[in-house]
Structure 1
Amino acid sequence: MTDYPEIAAHVARDVKDGKLVEFREDGLYRHVEFKAQQGWSRIILVTWPYNLLVAGSHGSYHFERFGPDTEDMFDWLRGIRVEPDRWASKLVNGADSVREYDQKRLVDQVKAEVAEAVKDGAPRGLRAAVREQILESDRLHSRDWAMQMVYDFEHGVTYRSECSCGASKDHADQNSAYTWEFYKHPVQRLDGEHEVKVREIGGFAFSDVGDWALDKVNYHFAYQCHAASWAIAQYDAARKQVAA
C-alpha cells in the first residue's frame, strides 16, 4: 500500500525504461540524473550534507533535515514507504508550499458527519438539506465558499434563552433567542441581577469545522516523491554493479 497510488502508478509507467544519464559523486556531494528513453520524463537528485534537491520534469523541491542519521539524505529515504504528506514537512519552503484544497476530502467529511448524525437520530430531511445546500452547489470548487457553506449550515436547530432568575424561552432561530433578553425579558426593568445565556438545544450543525483536514499535496510534488524513491533504488543498484 502506498500514498497516492494513482500517481505512483503514473511514475512507474514513466520510468519503466529510465536510464542513468549523468552521475557525479564526491562523498555526500552528488548529481544523479535519470531520463526515460521513450518520453520526456527525467529526474535529477542533488545532495549535499543534510540537503536533497529533487528536480526534473515535475518541478524542483528542496528538502533539508538535520539529524544524526540524515547527513546523507539518501539514507533518510532509502527503502522507506513514500509518504508525500509527511515528507512535505521537510521542505525548505514549508509544507504549505505544496498543499492544495481537496474538494473530495470536504465532501467525504460532510457525508461522514451527516451519516453519523442520521444514525444518532438527526432531524428528518437532513440528508436532503445537505445535498441541496452544500453537495449540489457549484461553489464547492472554492475552499472559501465551501467552508462558508459548511459553517453556515443548520437544520432543525433550536435555541434556548435562559435567565439566571429561572425564566427561559425556546426559539426557532438564533436572532430571536438573543433579542428575547431585550424585548420579552428586559433585564433593565428588573433588579439588575439577571444574566441571560443562549444555547443550542436541538437540530444539526457541523462541528469543529476549523479542524477538518481538507488539504492534500499537489500532483507534481507527490510525483517527484515517488520518482525520487525510484531513483535512489536505481542509484543503489548501479553502485552495486560497479562494486561487483
Structure 2
Amino acid sequence: MTRHATPKEVFDRDTTEHEMTILHDDGVYRHIRFAQPGTSIMHWDLITWPGHLCIDGDLDSFTFSREHDMFGFFAMDRGRINPHYWAEKITNRSVQTRVYESDKAKSQIIEAFLEQRRWMSAPAGPAWRSLREEVLDEFTLGDESLIRDALARWSFTDVDSSERWEFSDTWEWDLREWDYHYLMACHAIAWGIQQYRAAAATKLTAA
C-alpha cells in the first residue's frame, strides 16, 4: 500500500524556498506574507490585530481569537501544532476542520466486528458476508450519512444458533479526521510565527 505524504511533509517540501515579507508591523497590528519569490503558489498572509489572527492566501482562510497577542498564543506550542485546541478558537465557524474519513470508518467497523466475534459461538463467515454486502461496500463507505444509516440498520441473525450480530451506539463513533487543509494552515501559522520571531531576535541582537 502506498503511503501518502502527511500534511507536515508536504508543507516542509513546498516551503523550502519561501521568504518572509513584512508588510506592516506595529505592535500586535501585523501583516506578514510568506511566499516563494516569483510565484503565488502556496503563499499565505498572517494578519493580526488585538485578540485576533487571520491566515489567508493560497491556503484556506481561518480566523482565530484568544489572546491579545495571537503570535504569543500560537508560539506557546513552540513550533508544534495543536489542532484540537486551536480549532476551539476559530471565529469563522462555517469553515471545516474535521472531515469524514472512509478508511477510519472501515477500520472501526472491522474492529467492532472482530470484538463481537469473540463472544459468538456461531461461525463468523455468514455475518461477515452480510456486513460486506450491506455496509462495507464502496458506495456506502464513501458517504458519512450513508454509512451511519447502514450501521444503525445492520444486523444479522445466525440461523442455527439464533445469535444476533449488530452494532450499538454507532452514533457515538468518531469517523472523522482533521481536514488536510486545516492542518496545512496550522503548520503555516506555526512556521510563519517562528520565522517572524527568529528575524526579530536577530534584529535585536544586531542592534
Q: Would you say same fold, with TM above 0.5? A: yes
1:71 aligns with 2:68: yes
Residue ranges of structure 2 left out of the alignment (5+ in a row): none
8 A Cα contact 2:79 2:194, kept in partner: no
Structure 1 residue identity aligned to 2:64: F
List per-residue Cα deviations over 1:125-183 (Å, max 9, x = no partner). 2333222222124222111111111111102279xxxxxxxxxxxxx7xxxxxxxxxxx
Match of 1:107 in 2: 106
Displacement after TM superposition at 1:240 (Å): 1.2
Displacement after TM superposition at 1:38 (Å): 7.0
Match of 2:29 in 1: 29
List per-residue Cα deviations over 1:44-78 (Å, max 9, x = no partner). 1111122110112112110112xxxx221112211
Distance 1:122 1:34, change over 3 A: farther
Distance 1:96 1:44, change over 3 A: closer
Structure 2 residue identity aligned to 1:232: I
Distance 1:203 1:219, change over 3 A: same
Which SS does the other structure have where 1:90 is aligned? coil
Match of 2:56 in 1: 55
Match of 1:215 in 2: 176
| Equivalent-residue separation in structure 1 for 2:17 and 2:151 (angstroms) | 47
Match of 2:201 in 1: 240
| Equivalent-residue separation in structure 2 for 1:71 and 1:232 (angstroms) | 15
Rg larger in 1 or in 2?
A: 1
Displacement after TM superposition at 1:104 (Å): 1.6
Match of 1:228 in 2: 189
Which SS does the other structure have where 1:121 is aligned? coil
8 A Cα contact 1:123 1:203, kept in partner: no
Distance 1:110 1:96, change over 3 A: farther
| Equivalent-residue separation in structure 2 for 1:208 and 1:122 (angstroms) | 23
Size of the aligned set, in residue pairs, is 195
Residue ranges of structure 1 left out of the alignment (5+ in a row): 159-171, 173-201
Distance 1:203 1:80, change over 3 A: farther
| Equivalent-residue separation in structure 2 for 1:64 and 1:209 (angstroms) | 34
Match of 1:10 in 2: 10
8 A Cα contact 2:96 2:182, kept in partner: no
Listed as ranges, the matches of 1:104-183 within 5 Å are 104-121=103-120, 123-124=122-123, 125=125, 126-156=127-157
CA RMSD of superposed structures (Å) = 2.3
Distance 1:108 1:240, change over 3 A: same
Structure 2 residue identity aligned to 1:236: R
List per-residue Cα deviations over 1:221-242 (Å, max 9, x = no partner). 2111111111011111110111
| Equivalent-residue separation in structure 2 for 1:20 and 1:81 (angstroms) | 19
1:41 aligns with 2:38: no
| Equivalent-residue separation in structure 1 for 2:43 and 2:65 (angstroms) | 22
* Identical amino acids, percent of aligned pairs: 26
Distance 1:224 1:204, change over 3 A: same
Structure 2 residue identity aligned to 1:215: R
8 A Cα contact 1:51 1:73, kept in partner: yes
Distance 1:25 1:238, change over 3 A: same
Displacement after TM superposition at 1:105 (Å): 1.8
Displacement after TM superposition at 1:212 (Å): 0.9
Q: Which structure shows the higher strand fraction?
A: 1
